[in-house]
């Protein structure tokens, strides 16, 4: 009786396919592109096809006195201002567009009894494609993280990493014209908005008036140019010429900074 032959099982290594770029500098697989009237890629519309990369914008729900849902799928017909980009979405946009290099540069790192601040710039060199005449293009953005504008123990402990992630997100969103805020850029919204409402309730004034009042309490005057210089020292540019023209986001940041700048 002939002996049975032993069966040898050969395991094959499955390799993930590499990104393949077509003659226009676009990915051949994995991206369902949307294009604008100019013929360029509409990255926001392209991203909105990937709802798994988005999450609820907590700030929107807190401002409207609603508890944020846990998942974007829990929102019926979500609007753009109810959405936020996850960090995964930022990386997906970055890899889908294609890049050569990412460089982070520390701008400022301060720490005192009341406040800690880390500010970084993020410079991304994007791969050239048909939109840029196949020339690589660099784009840079700056972001800060402090113990007054982040949420969670981990974010407060690693302000440098938080600032870098924020700068990365702003650089990607800015270059690709995706005007949906990222989760990395949102801070302790619930506590901040609650405090702002208390401030307004107690003073019964508008945000610009409240800001002006806080500045008068701090300096004894109401010089708007001096206020702009003060904010610039805190790495925030005020694109306005009078108190009533200050952007709401800057108003909130300014009030928070002055509260912690004893």
In terms of Cα–Cα distance, which of 136, 108, 104, 56 is closest to 232? 108
Same-domain pairing of 53 and 156: yes
Is residue 99 assigned to a domain?
yes
The structural domain count of the chain equals: 2
Same-domain pairing of 227 and 99: no
- Where residue 38 falls among pLDDT bands split at 50, 70, 90? very high
Q: Tell me the Cα Rg of the chain.
A: 24
Name the domain boundary from 150, 185, 220: 185
The answer, yes or no, to whether residue 203 has pLDDT greater than 50, is: no
11-37 per-position pLDDT tens digit: 555 555 567 899 999 999 889 999 999
Nearby residues of 215 by Cβ (< 8 Å), 6 or more positions away:
221, 222, 227, 258
Is residue 245 assigned to a domain?
yes
Same-domain pairing of 101 and 179: yes
Same-domain pairing of 85 and 146: yes
The H or E element containing residue 107 is: strand 99-111
In terms of Cα–Cα distance, which of 56, 55, 140, 149 is closest to 105? 140
47-69 per-position pLDDT tens digit: 999 999 999 988 888 877 788 88
Residues in the chain, total: 262
Which residue segment(s) compose the domain that 237 sits in?
205-260
Cut 0.75: pTM above it: no
Same-domain pairing of 145 and 181: yes
208-234 per-position pLDDT tens digit: 777 787 788 777 777 888 888 888 877
Name the domain boundary from 123, 154, 185: 185
The answer to whether residues 49 and 34 touch, using CB atoms and an 8 Å cutoff, is yes
Is residue 190 assigned to a domain?
no
Same-domain pairing of 214 and 171: no
Is residue 215 assigned to a domain?
yes
Name the domain boundary from 185, 214, 244: 185
106-165 per-position pLDDT tens digit: 998 887 666 788 999 999 999 999 999 999 999 999 998 887 777 665 556 778 998 999
Same-domain pairing of 158 and 95: yes
Same-domain pairing of 174 and 255: no
pLDDT reported for residue 212 = 80
The answer to whether residues 29 and 17 touch, using CB atoms and an 8 Å cutoff, is yes
């Amino acid at each position: 009786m002939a002996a049975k032959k032993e069966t040898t099982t050969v395991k094959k290594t499955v390799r993930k396919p590499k990104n393949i770029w077509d003659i226009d500098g676009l990915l051949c697989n994995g991206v369902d592109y949307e294009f604008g009237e100019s013929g360029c890629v509409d990255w926001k519309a392209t991203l909105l096809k990937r709802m798994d990369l988005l999450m609820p914008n907590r700030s929107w729900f807190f401002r409207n006195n609603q508890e944020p849902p846990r998942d974007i799928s829990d929102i019926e017909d979500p609007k753009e201002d109810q959405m936020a980009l996850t960090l995964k979405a930022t990386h997906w946009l970055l890899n889908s567009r294609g890049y050569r290099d990412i460089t982070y540069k520390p701008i400022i790192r301060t720490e005192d009894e009341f406040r800690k601040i880390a500010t970084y710039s993020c410079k991304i060199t994007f791969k050239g494609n048909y939109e840029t005449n196949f020339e690589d293009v660099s784009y840079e953005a700056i972001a800060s993280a402090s113990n007054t504008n982040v949420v969670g123990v981990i974010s407060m402990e690693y302000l440098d990493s938080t600032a870098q992630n924020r700068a990365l997100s702003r650089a990607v969103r800015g270059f690709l014209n995706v005007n949906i805020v990222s989760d990395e850029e949102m801070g302790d919204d619930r506590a901040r908005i609650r405090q702002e409402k208390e401030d307004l309730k107690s003073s019964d004034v508008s945000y610009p008036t409240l800001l002006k009042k806080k500045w008068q309490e701090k300096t004894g005057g109401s010089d708007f140019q001096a206020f702009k210089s003060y904010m610039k020292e805190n790495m925030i540019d005020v694109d306005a010429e009078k108190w009533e023209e200050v952007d709401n986001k800057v108003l909130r940041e300014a009030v928070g900074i002055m509260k912690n700048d004893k």
